[in-house]
């Protein structure tokens, strides 16, 4: 749902804020929740970058 908001670039910040909020509501420490949110963004972003890089190299385009 938060990804549908066109207010921020790629929902940067909105999704992380929501993740932290939900985790804090279920009892996770705010610092740990922020770390989880940042780690989630890093893995999802860089994971796609890695897959794209491999696909680009395999395609043979220059």
Q: Does the model's pTM come out above 0.75?
A: no
The reported pLDDT for the residue numbered 20 is 95
Which of 43 and 1 is assigned the larger pLDDT? Answer: 43
Domain spans, the chain: 30-62
Residue 18 contacts residue 2 (beta carbons within 8 Å): yes
Q: How far apart are CA 15 and CA 48, in angstroms?
A: 17
The reported pLDDT for the residue numbered 62 is 64
pLDDT digits 0-9 by tens, 33-61 = 999 999 998 898 888 899 999 999 998 87
pLDDT digits 0-9 by tens, 23-36 = 999 999 999 999 99
Give the HSE-up count for residue 55: Cα atoms under 13 Å, Cβ half-sphere: 6
């Amino acid at each position: 749902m938060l990804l549908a908001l066109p207010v921020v670039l790629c929902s940067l910040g909105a999704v992380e804020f929501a993740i932290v909020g939900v985790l804090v509501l279920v009892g996770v420490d705010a610092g740990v929740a922020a770390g989880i949110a940042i780690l989630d963004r890093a893995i999802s972003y860089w994971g796609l970058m890695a897959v794209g890089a491999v696909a680009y190299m395999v395609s043979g385009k220059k």
